[in-house]
Structure 1
Amino acid sequence: MQATSTLMAAAAASDQPGAGPVLRIFLVVAIVGGVFLAWFLLRGYGDKGNND
C-alpha cells in the first residue's frame, strides 16, 4: 500500500511544470548572449587595413 501511494504521488508530481521550461529559456539566453559577447569582443580584431 505504501509503494502504491508513493508511486501515485510521484506520478502527480511529474504532471506539474518544474524547472524544465525555465532552464531551457535560461540556456537559450545564455548561449545567444555568449555568441553576441564573442562577436562583440572579436569584431575589433579584424583586418581594418594598415595605413603605413
Structure 2
Amino acid sequence: MHNPVTHDPTTLLAVASDSAGPGWLLRTVIVVSVLGAVFLAWFLLRGYGDKD
C-alpha cells in the first residue's frame, strides 16, 4: 500500500519539528560546556601573566 501523505516533505518536516527530542537539553549542554571551557582557560591562563 502506498500512502502519499508519508512521502510529503512538508508533512515530514512538521512531524519532525513537533517531536520532543533532545534539542533544548543538547543546546544547554553545549552552551554550558563552551562557557565552562572559556572560564577554565581564563582561570588557568591568568596565572601566566607578568608579575612585576
1:36 aligned onto 2:39: yes
Which of these two proteins has the greater Rg computed from alpha carbons? 1
- What is the percentage of aligned positions where both structures have the same residue? 55
| Bigger relative contact order, structure 1 or 2 (CA pairs below 8 A, ≥6 apart) | 2
Q: How does 1:19-34 map to 2 (within 5 A)?
A: 19-34=22-37
Q: Which runs of 5+ in 1 are unaligned?
A: none
Q: Normalising by structure 1, what TM-score?
A: 0.67
Q: How does 1:1-52 map to 2 (within 5 A)?
A: 1=2, 4=5, 12=15, 14-49=17-52
Q: Which runs of 5+ in 2 are unaligned?
A: none
Structure 1 segments, 4+ long, off by >4 Å, are 1-4, 10-14
Count of aligned pairs between the two proteins: 47
Q: Normalising by structure 2, what TM-score?
A: 0.67
